[in-house]
Structure 1
Amino acid sequence: MAIDIKDTVHAVDAAAVMRLLPTRPRLLALGEPTHGEASLLDVRNTLFRQLVEQEGYRTIAIESDCVRGLLVDDYVTLGTGTLDDVMARGFSHEWFNRSAANRELVRWMRAYNDTRPVSQRVRFAGFDAPLEMTEAASPREALMALHAYLAAHVSTELLPCTAQTLDRLLGPDARWTDGAAMLEPARSVGRSAEARELRLLADDVVALFDEQSPHLIMTTSRDDWDRARLYARTATGLLRYHFWMADTSPGRTTRLTSLRDRMMADNLLAIAERSPALVHAHNSHLQRDKSSMRMGGRPLEWWSAGALASVRLGEDYGFLATALGTLPHQSVDAPPPGTVEAILYALAEDHCLIDAPQLAIATGDMGLGPRVSPWFGYAPLDPAHLATTDGIVFVRDVVEG
């Protein structure tokens, strides 16, 4: 029997989302096709509140620096610092810290936690690596924090090196954060003698951390250990990333893009161990299918954090892609016929949730093609991905604000 497209449409709420999925996932990923749009972030905030209040979700993870995100988590869980300070220092990427919707999310989380016991509090996490498209952070902060944690709780004779040795090998942070290295591999410090020695020492420091984990959890706390584990994977991930920044082979850019998403995936899997979480990032970082883009005029393909997490978690990973009809302030007008967005735009719903696999069946003989965006900052849906997407959150008109 043919499927009526209207039968795939539901309200955008937590209950409807759960009905689309075989089980309540540990990670529910909500993608977005562009960054920084308030109306899309408002949908995210409303869904997160419903997931917390109705479905027992306890964490939101967004596409922001995982180390900076610790400042936000300390604020929402413990009241450490001020809202202004965590908005200024707790987010990476310029569209996050200046966002009124992100500010409202943090404010709501702090208010929600204010009168609740620790076991019921909501948590915040950044799950991106400390990277930008144009540069990567120094491994100093993560590596030195991990070493300090171990030095405080295990015998000195077990440590593979001193903090002074790490400091000497790291050198000035400007060596690591040179933006020119992204386009000029020779400017990267990642394959220097000091960086190679740091990779070996960092591996030994992380091995000691793993070996001492029972002792560390008993003498500190699970939260402290989790934080140290974040430092461990961030330090080794950044050293690996810098190593490949110095590469000159044709596969360099693909390797760097893949490494970033691999670091994202490691963070997501650690978050999933703690509590059910809503994950918010660009669709390309969360989809199950291979991601692609053009960079420097060349095609680039990689497996996203969502694809990597999905193969590990199975039904404990759910993915909702967000699609939009128009984005007038970026010259994205009504979608052309023959695209998924055009079909959804014809429904005349301001916001709706679509059963993506059912929509794939209903539109299977229509020969739909991908929409072409006139603006580089917006990525339309690929109709070939419908069957591997659990749902689509459709926002008809994204108004600037």
Structure 2
Amino acid sequence: MATDIKDTTHPVDAAAVMGLLPTRPRLLALGEPTHGEEALLDLRNDLFRQLVEEEGYRAIAIESDCVRGLIVDDHVTSGTGTLDEVMEQGFSHDWGASAANRELVRWMSHFNEGRPASDRLRFAGFDGPLEIAAAESPRQALTALHDYLVAAGVEADLLPYTRETLDDLLGTDDRWTEPAAMMDPSRSVGRSAEAGELRLLTDELTALLDAQTPHLLATTSRDDRDRARLYARTAVGLLRYHHAMADPSPSRMTRLCTQRDLMMAQNLLAVAARGPALVHAHNSHLQREQSSMRMWEGRVEWWGAGSLVSAELGEEYGFLATALGTIGHQGVDAPPPDTLEGLLYAQPAESCVVDTRRLTTTLDGARLTRRVSPWFGYAPFDPAHLTDSDGMVFVKDVVHPS
């Protein structure tokens, strides 16, 4: 295909990205089509630094456990804990082993030194405390929420349960983290009588948290109140997720994928309420169109976090997908020339920002073939959704660090 697209590409920098957007979004989402590639995380770090220094961004949110992320936030804002401890305890999905994530935390801490609290960078994980094959016990979120309300002086008679009652209903944590539950719904505790009572009590506790807002803001900091709201969201979300894990119906995986992204969306909206932030996660979680995945039970489709947040924020949500040329160490070789990745691979730049709307005009109806990846861990971009993103980042060759 001989289409000339060089005028639709720009260097990867904050100015080029902002030039694609009608306004500075409260959430600027940068997707990635695969996980675990340091080169993509280094690019994310570089873009975040520019957004901080040139565009006033003051937060980053990544696809990691939202509760563990509080450990990272405490470190970069207040110096709590050592860097080694934070990398070990503050990330899920093995992200703590990443050199690029370590450098991100180090840079944020250095940037914050000597700055007033209102101008410090903030860190957030926005995933739930769960993986695709398991979910944690709601114990940590529920007990932290309960402890906050007690410490804030909420009258004991208003609390719907004691810590002892909570411990009795939760039982041992291994009931909740049973590995066999993902493949066998009957092994999940999510629809037990105790889980049902916990859902009711959690709903009452969350309502109490909202109803006591004036008192809580008078007796605790706004950050502490916001943290308690995160615990409440997490407890509600985990109990819903466990309930779905116990579902024997054909819609089970749809419910699980939906619930995970709903938790992500709620956490992102809370991040957006604090001010402009860069968001980084898999394209499938951040895209505006419906997400899909082929699993052992067949094809699953659901509305992802990006579609939910975009529907809520409108132009204040911006999305850049990332597409790749090669991932040599995973057997992903040069893309065919009739694919979107093939067109971009023919350009001289090692990486670029693509104006997707202008590219659509340049293509003028030319039909592109959707690329097929030989490796399950990489999801090529669907050219049918070019205009659903505000732009695209293209990286020509992802090289494994030696």
What TM-score, normalized by structure 1, do the two folds share? 0.98
The residue identity in structure 1 corresponding to 2:141 is A
Look up the match of 2:325: 325
The residue identity in structure 2 corresponding to 1:146 is L
Spell out the pairing of 1:339-378 with structure 2 (5 A cutoff): 339-378=339-378
Are the aligned partners of 1:66 and 1:129 in contact in 2 as well (CA < 8 Å)? yes
The residue identity in structure 1 corresponding to 2:58 is R
Look up the match of 1:290: 290
Measured after TM superposition, the shift of residue 371 of structure 1 is: 0.5
Measured after TM superposition, the shift of residue 320 of structure 1 is: 0.4
Are the aligned partners of 1:59 and 1:276 in contact in 2 as well (CA < 8 Å)? yes
Look up the match of 1:204: 204
The residue identity in structure 2 corresponding to 1:45 is N
- How far apart are the structure 2 equivalents of 1:337 and 1:290? 27
2:136 is equivalent to residue 137 of structure 1: yes
The residue identity in structure 2 corresponding to 1:375 is W
2:60 is equivalent to residue 60 of structure 1: yes
2:112 is equivalent to residue 113 of structure 1: yes
- How far apart are the structure 2 equivalents of 1:90 and 1:363? 44
- How far apart are the structure 2 equivalents of 1:97 and 1:108? 15
Are the aligned partners of 1:292 and 1:302 in contact in 2 as well (CA < 8 Å)? yes
2:122 is equivalent to residue 123 of structure 1: yes
3-state SS in 2 of match to 1:20: coil
- How far apart are the structure 2 equivalents of 1:8 and 1:369? 20
What TM-score, normalized by structure 2, do the two folds share? 0.98
Measured after TM superposition, the shift of residue 107 of structure 1 is: 0.4
- How far apart are the structure 1 equivalents of 2:123 and 2:190? 31
- How far apart are the structure 2 equivalents of 1:369 and 1:261? 29
Are the aligned partners of 1:348 and 1:396 in contact in 2 as well (CA < 8 Å)? no
3-state SS in 2 of match to 1:125: strand
TM-superposition CA deviations, 1:244-292 (whole Å, max 9, x none)? 1000000000110010000000000000001110000000000001111
Count of aligned positions: 398
The residue identity in structure 2 corresponding to 1:58 is R
TM-superposition CA deviations, 1:115-165 (whole Å, max 9, x none)? 211111101000000011111000000011001111122111111111111
Measured after TM superposition, the shift of residue 226 of structure 1 is: 0.6
- How far apart are the structure 1 equivalents of 2:202 and 2:146? 9
- How far apart are the structure 1 equivalents of 2:330 and 2:4? 33
Are the aligned partners of 1:127 and 1:267 in contact in 2 as well (CA < 8 Å)? yes
Measured after TM superposition, the shift of residue 361 of structure 1 is: 2.2
- How far apart are the structure 2 equivalents of 1:218 and 1:26? 28
Look up the match of 1:252: 252
Look up the match of 1:184: 184
- How far apart are the structure 1 equivalents of 2:62 and 2:133? 20
Look up the match of 2:174: 174
Measured after TM superposition, the shift of residue 385 of structure 1 is: 1.0
3-state SS in 2 of match to 1:336: coil
The residue identity in structure 2 corresponding to 1:71 is I
Measured after TM superposition, the shift of residue 190 of structure 1 is: 0.4
2:36 is equivalent to residue 36 of structure 1: yes
The residue identity in structure 2 corresponding to 1:327 is I
Measured after TM superposition, the shift of residue 365 of structure 1 is: 2.0
Q: Aligned-residue CA RMSD in angstroms?
A: 0.9
Measured after TM superposition, the shift of residue 364 of structure 1 is: 4.1
- How far apart are the structure 2 equivalents of 1:357 and 1:183? 42
2:15 is equivalent to residue 10 of structure 1: no
Cα distance change of structure 1 residues 364 and 167 upon mapping to structure 2, 3 Å threshold = farther
TM-superposition CA deviations, 1:69-99 (whole Å, max 9, x none)? 00000000000000000101100002x1110
Q: Identity across aligned pairs (percent)?
A: 69
- How far apart are the structure 1 equivalents of 2:148 and 2:209? 9
Are the aligned partners of 1:354 and 1:392 in contact in 2 as well (CA < 8 Å)? yes
Measured after TM superposition, the shift of residue 186 of structure 1 is: 0.3
Q: Which runs of 5+ in 1 are unaligned?
A: none
The residue identity in structure 2 corresponding to 1:93 is H
- How far apart are the structure 1 equivalents of 2:342 and 2:114? 46
Look up the match of 1:239: 239
Measured after TM superposition, the shift of residue 297 of structure 1 is: 6.0
Spell out the pairing of 1:261-340 with structure 2 (5 A cutoff): 261-296=261-296, 298-340=298-340
Look up the match of 1:93: 93
Measured after TM superposition, the shift of residue 337 of structure 1 is: 2.2
